[in-house]
Amino acid sequence: MCSIFLPPAAISPAEVLTEKHYTKDSRFQRIKAFFQKRSCPMERYAADLVAAADQNHLDWRLLPSLALVESSGGKVFVNNNVFGWDSCRQKFPSIQAGIHAVAERLANSPYYRGKSLEGKLRAYNQNPHYVATVKKVMSQLATEPW
């Protein structure tokens, strides 16, 4: 894990537009409730997580699950990097930018492109328990009542 950092309180115009688009989407509502239940700052980015997944044809549960595993849902991170991307060395100009950059790389980088979910997760982190850990969070995200 990385150092503690709290996201800024102000909401950008892009966040408002993205959130309005996804407000009635059950995936948005599930992600928001999932993070709220755990008091995670990432609840604020639920719409961005769904939008990034849609734009990059990723399972909608992947990015929030990675954020929960890697930064406790945005509680512990540096460099606006809630996914621990590049062992927390990668700096992003905002959390939103990090969400979209990581989603794009998971979909299009030669290192990840064309791989199954398990293949992407194995490439993301070689820890033998990592795939099971992330998939467990993904399952909880899909099945917890909201």
pLDDT reported for residue 109: 97
**What are the backbone dihedrals phi and psi of residue 143, each rounded to the nearest 5 degrees, phi first?**
-110, -20
pLDDT reported for residue 3: 44
Is the pLDDT at 85 greater than 90, yes or no?
yes
Sign of CA dihedral 31, 84, 48, 122: negative
For residue 123 the two structure tokens come to 């490439």
CA 79 to chain centre: 15
| 31-74 pLDDT per residue, tens | 999 999 999 999 999 999 999 999 999 999 999 999 999 999 99
**What are the backbone dihedrals phi and psi of residue 73, each rounded to the nearest 5 degrees, phi first?**
70, 30
Among 65, 21, 69, 16, which residue's Cα sits nearest to residue 44? 16
| 5-28 pLDDT per residue, tens | 444 444 444 554 466 678 889 999
pLDDT reported for residue 145: 83
99/106 Cα distance (integer angstroms) = 11
pTM of the model: 0.86
Q: What is the mean pLDDT of the chain?
A: 89
pLDDT reported for residue 106: 98
Domains of the chain in sequence order: 26-143 (1.10.530.10)
15/125 Cα distance (integer angstroms) = 29
| 118-138 average pLDDT score | 97
| 86-126 pLDDT per residue, tens | 999 999 999 999 999 999 999 999 999 999 999 999 999 99
62/125 Cα distance (integer angstroms) = 14
